Structure formats: structure tokens, C-alpha cells
Homo-oligomer: A and B are copies of this chain.
């Protein structure tokens, strides 16, 4: 899922997103509740209508950003008190209000409010935290059903639970059990990709996914590199979101089938080839590395647009190729081939 923090995937328009093949995007509840405000969005007819995007939207609960405010927030059993980074105004985010805000936004998939403890933490701290996350999940699920109980036909939203538990496999298992026992439309793994080594994250995913129902979507939040996508699909993950393709594009890093490249590097100034010879996106069909290098050096906004178009195409194409490989029973071949051809390191450093 491309990340559209404030109601837009940075540097792109919805038709650009259609063009790169995005079928769902993510919106950040924390940002949207503060500006323009979830009630204003509701008065506009919901996020889809407001931002001109008619395919699915997943909204996070707002918790992750609130917890990262550190000095500006206080966590209690009832919820999180915090001050806006925009104007210092005081707010309270509870499991119930997180449901209400996302109902106002009108996303297709809403996430429950969870606690994201800082890593590393002791098992005791993580255990207490995941227990509160489970209690919050129960409250959030109740509010969700209560909120939509008079809605005719199928519910207008899905709601996903979130498994926590730090990097302790047994605590992940406990959190998964508590969350699954409440029963959600899908299950996410939260609190990963926050600085731990890749292999640790892979082990946690390995230990968790078998405890989540196979007929419900499994979503790994905030992940990751192209190799993370392949490795975590191998471990049972279906969905991802990450700012990496969009943010790195704005910083001049392009993902290619051979590995990442930094377009600002001098050797690209006279390189007439496309960003990725194996890519058929708008950027690769029409522009050379030399031109992308020039636009980036000249600080043209068009650089951000063209780089983002390419990186999202690369990510979404990778997921598409993974789906096809699975459908044809060739995923393991694909995985090995991907490791052989995709370098973690920049092509020219």
C-alpha cells in the first residue's frame, strides 16, 4: 500500500496512482484527525470523495504516530493523551475514538488502537503492554460493532486487529492468541521494522503467522525493503505498507531490478538508459537516468514525481510478480532469482 499520509501520496495525483497499478492506499489517522479533521472529512462525504480516490483505503489507528511523540503524550488504560505537533492542542485517543475517527474518515479497512512499546524492552514490559493492547482491541471491536449495528447490509468497513509482543516469539504467540480470540476481519503485525535486525524480524514473522487464520489477510505494518517483501511473503504475509518507495524517491534513491541506485551520483549525468531496463513504468518508458539526474540536481519537483512513479511501480510490480509466482507454484524459484539479481547495496556508491 502506497502511503498517503495527509490525504495524498506525496508528489502524485490519483491518476498517477491508477497508472502505477495501486489497488489500495493507506491514510494516516493521526495526521488527518488533526488536519483537516475527521469531522470535516465526514462532512465532505468521506476520504474517498474528498481525495478523489475510489479504490480501497486502509487507515491506521493513529497510535503509532502518537506514541512517537514521546514528550508530548501520556499513555493510560483509557487511552493516550497527546498534544498536536501542529498547534499544541490537547487530544485524547482511545480505542473507541480511534474507531469513531476512522468511521468518519470512511476508510475500507480500519485498524484497532494498539500500544507500540519502544524497543528494546524487557519481556515483562512487553507482556504488560500486549495485554493492554488486547484489552484495547476488545473495546475497539465492541465499539466497531456498536457503531455499525444499524447499518443495513454488509458493514461498510472491515476492522483489523494488531499483534504485538516485541521480538519475543512466545509473547507474539500470546498476543496472536488473544487477538484471534476476539475475532477480526484481518490481522496485522505491529511493532516491527523499528530498528531490529532483519533476521530478527523474519524470525518474529515466522513465529507469528502460523497462529493467525490462513483465510484472513495478514498485514505486516511499516515494512519494508524489496527483499523484506519477498521474505515476509515467504513467511505468510499478504499486505504491507511502507514510506520507503515514496520517501526514498524524493531523496533520489531509485529501486531497480538489480538493486537501488542513487540518481544524484555523477556517473548518471550522461547515462541515456532508463532508471530500470526491466521496468515499463511511465518514467522508464520516457526518461533517461541523465534527465532524472538533472531534475534531481536542479531540485525540480518533477524529479519527486517521476522517481515516485518509478519506485511505486517497482514495489507494486514486485508484489504482482510474487502473486503470479504463487499462482503458478513457482514462488520458491522467484524468491531465489530475486536474491540473485537484487543487490541490497547501491549499484554505484
A341 at the interface (CB under 8 A from B): no
* Sample of 14 more A-B contacts, CB < 8 Å, known A7-B291, A51-B287, A305-B305: A6-B295, A7-B294, A7-B295, A8-B298, A10-B301, A13-B302, A14-B286, A36-B290, A43-B270, A44-B272, A50-B290, A52-B287, A52-B291, A301-B304
A7–B287 Cα distance when bound, in Å, is 12
**Total chain A interface residues with beta-carbon distance under 8 A:** 39
A304–B8 Cα distance when bound, in Å, is 12
> Is the pair A298, B7 in contact by a Cβ cutoff of 8 Å?
yes
A339 at the interface (CB under 8 A from B): no
Number of this chain's copies in the complex: 2
Q: How many Å from the CB of A238 to the closest CB on chain B?
A: 28
A13-B282, A13-B306, A50-B291 are contacts. A6–B298 as well, Cβ < 8 Å? Answer: yes
A14-B286, A51-B291, A291-B52 are contacts. A301–B301 as well, Cβ < 8 Å? Answer: yes
Residue-wise interface mask of A (271-289) relative to B, using a CB-CB cutoff of 8 A (1 in contact, 0 not): 0100000000010001110
> Is the pair B50, A6 in contact by a Cβ cutoff of 8 Å?
no
Chain A residues in the interface with B (C-beta under 8 A): 6-15, 31, 35-36, 40, 43-44, 50-52, 269-270, 272, 282, 286-288, 290-291, 293-295, 297-298, 300-302, 304-306
Chain B residue, CB-CB nearest to A285: B52
Q: How many Å from the CB of A293 to the closest CB on chain B?
A: 8
> Is the pair A10, B302 in contact by a Cβ cutoff of 8 Å?
yes
By a CB distance below 8 angstroms, the chain B residues around A290 are 36, 40, 44, 50
